[in-house]
Chains A and B, each alone.
Chain A
Amino acid sequence: MTTHARPRAIAGGLLDRPMIWLLALFGIAEAVISYRFLAGIGSVSNMNDGYTWGIWEPVNVVVFTGIGAGAYSVGLLCYLLNRGKYHPLIRPAVLLAAIAYSLGGASIVVALGRPWNMYLLALPPLWNLSSVLLEVAVCVVAYVCVLWIELLPAVFDDAAGSASRVRSAWGKRWGGRLAKAMPYVIALAMLLPTMHQSSLGGLMIVAGPKLHPLWHTTLLPLLALVSCMSMGLGAVVVLTAVMKHTWSARHDNELLADMSKVNGLLLLLFVALRLGDIAFQGKLHLLAVPDFYLMVFVLELALFLFPAFLFLTRRVQQNRARVLGALLTVVGCSLWRIDAFLTCYNAGESWSYWPSLGEIAVTVGMAAFGVAVFIAVSKIFPVVEVGDPAAIRAGHEADLRSLRTRPATPPGTSNPSRPRSPR
């Protein structure tokens, strides 16, 4: 590990120009949302009885949480498969996940017709245990809590490094206590996404004849689970690349090369499962019908296979094209999710749907708010690993030179109070 690299708060004021833009987008979304609560969902959206979820569920929930699955997939690698070197990625991934899942949950509140009844979800005797959506809802709420708890060490670390003795003692005490409980929290963070990500896919099984047979399969839960791992890893790689460019965040070439390999295999697994299932169910003849759905299917397949090919090419693993691969992975998995929930869903002859400006404004505004929160939290709390720029450059070169022999971080040598890396 590069010397002195540990999570630090990013330097710079909070309200810079990008932040103002992001908040402006969120402001527009807020205006639309306020109007929706006064005049009904139909007043701001093109949703109808046929396409009743519009883009809010397929994108804001199913895609956002897929992007947030980075905490799950990196966590699996780091904690379950014991690859400790992934540790530097955990905090940013968890922050991304906490934000993405929270926004997914917030979007649900906007999309629900009767949200004032939501408190009833807290009463287990009322639960209809047959409902796949109930399982998703309860599990996602629980997971959002787990994710924010997983971020608490950043808050305690920040306090522990504080100049104030009281604050520092407080941070150390509670940080220590939380550290003891952490394995059990992390285990929950491994279990819950396994449950709700597969259930998210399972949501559409019941749609039966309304979903195109190339997408409708009882394998939907498994496909959704595998795709969330891919998508999550892809999102983390993209995030790392963006943070490297904007904040000179630490950037471990070897780690990213490894993740690319894993992701390549996951993508191939997804494609194998999907094609195998189609063949097994005797649906291959559908691939001979040249229609819109086949086009979408081929596009999806390309967006899975091309990144897989990139990831499994040794040269690409080491160069920048892997970021392209990661980006395409996120796009491909998102496309598959949106298709299974919307594009290839057909409620009947009497309906058509295209999202309204209001719907798009809400989706974009929510995403913008997510980015804004990520930036703000990274600037206040130690989440992202940055060294000073010179050390990073040196470290980067060292990484390239000796890919496998990295010295362990000397302990306790760099714990200054609220370090701010100079711009």
Chain B
Amino acid sequence: MLVSRRLLLQGAAVAGASTVLPGKAQARGKVEPLEEAVGMLYDSTHCVGCGGCVAACKEANGLPWDEPTDLSNTTRSIVKTRRLAVPLRNGEASAFVKRQCMHCVDPSCVSVCMLGALHKEGQGKRDMGGERKGTGIVLYDEDLCLGCRYCQIACAFAIPRFEWREAFPHIVKCELCRKRADPTREGALGVANPACCQVCPAGALVYGRRVDLLAEARRRMAAEPARYNGKIFGEKDGGGTQALYLAAAGVTFKELGFPDLPDGSYANASESASHAPYLNGVAPIALYAVAAYLVRRNKKAQEGAERPEEPRK
């Protein structure tokens, strides 16, 4: 046996252990919602599907009206009609759902973005101007974006869009109309002012602080328990989101097009698994030192064996 099986298995065991074991021991931890985080509450049971929010979004963001059917590089917000498997008691066979960036509490897109082009307001690698810490809004900084599109892979809600036909493309997604904020105002309207929430005529779309929106959602569910399906999507799903959703009794969020997410965030799972083996940089340095020592020793021995009559100078 020339390469001994024992050596090989030992190597594999060490490599395996160093990758897996610390991964369990060194999770990066759960990210809690920011106290002053802002978001929106969408109540599917009140939505009439007028599309006013979609038009308002287009106008507020200077995007062309192109009769959108889904999010796209020209559409940051959309209302979709979802066919239901079982019609509701009132005979309704479909339900509306508005989609836009969820402004996750612990966003995958922010976790994976190489230089922090996608970042939580005030928590990025650089300030795009007037950023306030604590809003939790996920912003896009084109000057730090390489266009790798890993955000699109990472986002469980498939929100970020890319300008495929542009030579100088951008990532496009909802930024909660931060630019429409009125700095003279106190509270949530002082940090952002989503056009969609402003125009909703049905009370289906409310903008505010996440804590207030959660309270409002609970109030609605308590007032009409038979109306709702009993779950606030985004309260915990995928580590929590700042856009919160209510749906009618008999409708699942899966039917509305949402993924089935665990309570923990994938950002946490991914970072813990990928970074833990590094032991804060100790592992690579140790590995390098061991490798350098072994290579030096073995290389010398091998060269000595190859050229016995030619001692190295």
Binding site for B on A (CB under 8 A): 37-43, 47-50, 52-53, 76-85, 87, 108, 111-115, 117-118, 120-121, 125-135, 137, 176, 182-184, 186-188, 190-191, 194-195, 198-199, 202-210, 218-222, 225-226, 254, 258, 261-262, 265-266, 269, 273, 345, 347-350, 408-409, 411-412
**Cβ-defined contact, B146 with A112, below 8 A:** yes
Contact B150 A176 (CB under 8 A): no
Known A121-B115, A194-B287, A207-B154; judge A81-B3 contact (CB<8 A).
yes
Q: What's the least CB distance linking A192 to chain B, in Å? A: 9
Does B145 lie within 8 Å of A126, measured CB to CB?
Answer: no
| Interface pair B12/A183, CB less than 8 Å apart | no
Q: Say whether B150 contacts A133, CB under 8 Å.
A: yes
Give the Cβ gap from B25 to chain A, nearest Cβ, in Å.
13
A190:B295 contact, CB within 8 angstroms:
yes
* Residues B204-257 near A (CB distance < 8 A): 257
Q: Is the CB of A128 within 8 A of B113?
A: yes
Provide the residues of chain A in CB contact with B158, threshold 8 Å: 49-50, 210, 347-348
Rounded to whole Å, the gap between the CB of A287 and the closest CB of chain B is 21
Q: Is the CB of A135 within 8 A of B274?
A: yes
Complex contact B114–A128 (CB within 8 A): yes
Assess whether B295 is in contact with A265, with CB atoms less than 8 Å apart.
Answer: no
Contact of B296 among A83, A183, A205 (CB under 8 A): A183
Considering the complex of A and B, which 3 residue pairs feature the smallest CB-CB distances, nearest first? A113-B147, A42-B164, A84-B302
How far is B164's CA from A42's CA once the two chains are assembled, in angstroms? Answer: 4
- Can you spell out 10 A-B residue pairs with CB atoms less than 8 angstroms apart? A79-B295, A84-B306, A113-B145, A117-B115, A117-B143, A126-B125, A135-B274, A198-B274, A205-B274, A411-B307
Q: Is B92 an interface residue (CB 8 A)?
A: no
Chain A binder among B55-63, B186-194, B261-269 = B261-269
Interface string of B275-313 (1 = CB under 8 A from A): 101000000100110011011101101100111111001
The residue in chain A whose Cβ has the minimal distance to the Cβ of B149 is A52
User: A83's contact among B3, B114, B306, by CB below 8 Å, is which?
Assistant: B3
Give the CA-CA distance A191 to B156 in the complex, in Å: 32
- Stretch of B13-21, B32-40, B41-49, B175-183 contacting A (4+ beta carbons < 8 Å): B13-21
B116 sits at the interface (CB 8 A): yes
Q: Which A residues are in CB contact (< 8 Å) with B185?
A: none
**Residue with the highest number of chain A CB atoms closer than 10 Å, among B112, B116, B125, B126:** B112
Asked if B112 and A132 make an inter-chain contact with CB atoms under 8 angstroms apart, the answer reads: yes
Cα distance A207–B238 in the bound complex, in angstroms: 12
Verify if B87 is at the interface (C-beta below 8 Å from A).
no
Contact in complex: B270, A118 (CB < 8 Å) = no
- Any chain A CB within 8 A of the CB of B122? no
Bound Cα distance A108, B287 (Å): 28
**In the complex, B201 has a CB within 8 A of chain A:** no
Q: How far is the CB of B242 from chain A (nearest CB, A)?
A: 19
- Chain B residue nearest to A220 in the complex (CB): B273
In the bound complex, CA of A183 to CA of B289 (Å): 11
Q: For the complex formed, measure the closest distance between the CB of A113 and the CB atoms of chain B, giving whole angstroms.
A: 2
Given contacts A121-B114, A262-B3, contact A206 B154 (CB under 8 A): yes
Contact yes or no, B3 A126, CB < 8 A:
no
Known contacts A79-B295, A209-B260, A209-B261, A411 near B3 by CB under 8 Å: no
| A187-B291, A191-B291, A411-B307 known; A128+B149 contact, CB < 8 A | no
CA distance A188 to B165 in the complex (A): 40
Contacts of B67-89 to chain A: CB distance below 8 A = 70-72
Residue contact A218 to B273, C-beta cutoff 8 Å: yes
Alpha-carbon distance between A183 and B297 when the two chains are bound, in angstroms: 9
Nearest A residue to B157, CB-CB: A348
* Bound CA span A188–B292, Å: 8
Residue of A nearest to B281 (CB): A129
CB within 8 Å for A261 and B3 given contacts A117-B143, A125-B125? yes
Whole-angstrom CA separation of A408 from B147 in the bound complex: 54
Q: For A191, list chain B residues within 8 Å (CB).
A: 284, 287-288, 291
When chains A and B are docked, how far (Å) is the Cα of A219 from the Cα of B294?
A: 28
Residue of A with least CB distance to B126: A126
The answer to whether B144 touches A120, judged by C-beta atoms less than 8 angstroms apart, is yes
Whether A49 and B152, one on each chain, are in contact in the complex, defined by CB atoms closer than 8 angstroms, is: yes
Provide the residues of chain B in CB contact with A187, threshold 8 Å: 288, 291-292, 295
Nearest chain B CB to A81 CB, angstrom units:
6
Residue among A80, A87, A188 facing the most chain B CB atoms (10 A cut-off)? A80
Our pick among A40, A42, A222, A265 for the contact of B8 (Cβ within 8 Å) is A265
Interface 0/1 of B104-142, CB less than 8 Å to A = 000010011111100000000110000000000000001
**Nearest-Cβ distance from residue A218 to partner chain B, whole angstroms:** 4
Beta-carbon contact of B148 and A133 below 8 Å: yes
Chain B residues positioned under 8 Å from A220 (CB to CB): 273
Assess the A222–B15 pair: CB atoms within 8 A: yes
Determine whether the beta carbon of B148 is less than 8 Å from that of A77: no
**Can you name the residue of chain B whose Cβ is closest to the Cβ of A410?**
B309
Of A77, A135, A183, most B-chain CB atoms within 10 Å: A183
Is A80 a contact partner of B295 (Cβ separation < 8 A)?
A: yes
Q: Are A41 and B169 touching (Cβ within 8 A)?
A: yes
Whether the pair A87, B302 counts as a contact (CB closer than 8 A) is: yes
Q: Check B156 against A130 for contact (C-beta < 8 Å).
A: no
Q: How far is the CA of A376 from the CA of B153 in the complex (A)?
A: 38
Q: Which residue of B113, B153, B167, B259 is within 8 Å of A38 (Cβ)? A: B167
Contact B3 A40 (CB under 8 A): no
CA of A114 to CA of B259 in the docked complex: distance in angstroms?
30
A49 / chain B contacts, CB cutoff of 8 Å: 71-72, 152, 158, 160-162, 164
B295 / chain A contacts, CB cutoff of 8 Å: 79-80, 183, 186-187, 190
> When the two chains form their complex, are residues B274 and A37 in contact, meaning their CB atoms are under 8 A apart?
no
Contact A132 B8 (CB under 8 A): no
Q: Nearest residue in B to A36 (C-beta to C-beta)? A: B167
> In the assembled complex, which residues on chain B have CB atoms less than 8 Å from the CB atom of A128?
113-116, 125
The answer to whether B153 and A206 have CB atoms under 8 Å apart is: yes
User: 5 other contacts beyond A43-B165, A113-B146, A186-B299, with CB at 8 A cut-off?
Assistant: A80-B298, A208-B108, A221-B277, A350-B70, A411-B308
